[in-house]
Structure 1
């Protein structure tokens, strides 16, 4: 392939711009804010699930407390009725009196036990309420932190995108100076060799694979016409001759 020396040198300018675009793309993909956003979003999901579970527990305890309080009221009402019967003098049989007194005593013990159950449920509900409050506070803190990180991420991405826009425009201007066939070869090689399709020959070494060129190949390159497109024998990238090639 033939191409003017100046066009070949422009390949190095193009390669530098493409390498810059690759670095910018890598930087955008690996912004620390991206990982931080992902972490905080995951934490918020966990907190929302925990809040739902805690709120559900509070609701369950509310129903449990209401049921226990109803049981207390029923036992208390029955004990009061029995006590009224006892106080009214309607029960005259000694056996009936003894049974009624025993039932009242049993109901009082039952009421006391149920009231203990109510107190225990109330304590558990207070603990569940405290968990809900703490989880909501933590969620609010995480949301504030996430908003700040998202703002930093967006600012960093905008900065990168602006630089990508400037670099892309510069690349388009350089690409116009390179013949289509040479540009096509460069693009093909760039896709094959990790984004580097052209490299300078610097002091007898290819800067694409960073290997020294042997004497025979150096002599061949030295004798080649200026417009001949040279390929590195080791990495097969386009090898661009410059004043610092050491030829």
Structure 2
């Protein structure tokens, strides 16, 4: 097999390797994971806010419960003194008056306690819902990551096989021609060598003129030929139309 023919095999392998790298960068799982990552960040922010609010209102519940208990304890002491008939008539009347005030105060505090507890329950429910959504999202992310990793393993396995084949083929091309091919490929959209088919360059798809065709016909079999338009290496084939 001539060196130029080996270049076509090399080009086919390089094209597939480029396709593999493109595929790895554009796996559908990657776009979906990026989307879910944004949703996860948003949920995490909402969850922190909800849990912080829940913690704050829980402190309000604790304070409200303590305030109610203080009033209850004060009422219990006053009622005990009143029932025991301790003190003068004026003292007992004052106790009755204070008990009445404490009763109204207890009602106010219990209403406040109930309102705070309702807010706490609502925030607990919101935090629980956000936590459940976060767990569901984490499950979706885990599944996508597994799918992505499986796809990457498959592509990497194919890439490794192709790289090994490329190494074997490149060894038969020669360092000088390989260096030229790689240089052209890097500057020409990934195509360094193209077949000449029916008088057309397989790289730029332009038909060669008679002068170029005459030059190619007269060239030695192993001479490195270049397309005058795209400067890619031209490889003569049985279908070149020469």
- With normalisation by structure 2, the TM-score equals 0.89
Q: Distance in 2 between matches of 1:199 and 1:109?
A: 96
Superposed CA deviations along residues 195-247 of structure 1, whole A, max 9, x for unmatched, are 11111111122111222223332232233332221111111111111111122
What SS does the aligned partner of 1:212 have? coil
Distance in 1, Cα, partners of 2:223 & 2:120:
85
- Indicate yes or no: 2:16 matched with 1:20: yes
Q: Secondary structure at the match of 1:240?
A: strand
Deviation at 1:85, TM superposition (A): 5.1
Contact 1:85 1:91 in 2 (8 A): no
Q: Among 176, 183, 186, which residue is 1:191 paired with?
A: 186
Within the alignment, does 1:47 sit opposite 2:43 as a pair? Answer: yes
Residue 41 (structure 1) shift: 3.6
Counterpart in the other structure of 1:7: 3
Q: Give the equivalent residue in structure 1 for 2:135.
A: 140
More divergent stretch after superposition (19-28 vs 41-50): 41-50
CA contact (8 A) 2:4 2:235 kept: yes
Distance 1:210 1:69 in 2: 85
Deviation for aligned residue 1:179? 2.0
Quote how far apart the aligned CAs of 1:191 are. 1.1
Q: Which structure is higher in RCO with an 8 Å CA cutoff and minimum separation 6? A: 1
- C-alpha distance in 1, partners of 2:135/2:179? 54
Aligned to 1:180: 175
In structure 1, the residue matched to 2:68 is 72
Which residues of structure 1 form unaligned runs of 5+?
A: none
Aligned ranges 1:107-118 → 2 under 5 Å:
107-118=102-113
Question: What is the rounded CA distance, in whole Å, between the counterparts of 1:89 and 1:10 in structure 2?
Answer: 115
Tell me the matched-pair count: 241
Q: Following the alignment from structure 1 to structure 2, what is the Cα–Cα distance between the partners of residues 29 and 220?
A: 43
Comparing 54-63 and 22-31, the one that deviates more = 54-63
Q: Any idea what the Cα deviations from partners look like across 1:175-197, whole Å, max 9, x if unmatched?
A: 11112211110011111112111
Structure 2 residue aligned with 1:125, among 109, 120, 129?
A: 120
| Cα RMSD (Å) | 2.3
Contact kept, 8 Å, 1:199 with 1:207, in 2: the verdict is: yes
Q: How does 1:158-237 map to 2 (within 5 A)?
A: 158-237=153-232
Q: Which runs of 5+ in 2 are unaligned?
A: none
**Bigger Cα displacement from structure 2, 142-151 vs 214-223:** 214-223
Q: 8 Å contact 1:51–1:132 — kept in the other structure?
A: yes
Between the aligned partners of 2:104 and 2:201, the Cα distance in structure 1 is: 96
Once the two structures are superposed, residues 117-156 of structure 1 have per-residue CA deviations (whole angstroms, 9 ceiling, x without a partner) of 1111111111121122212222222222222111111111
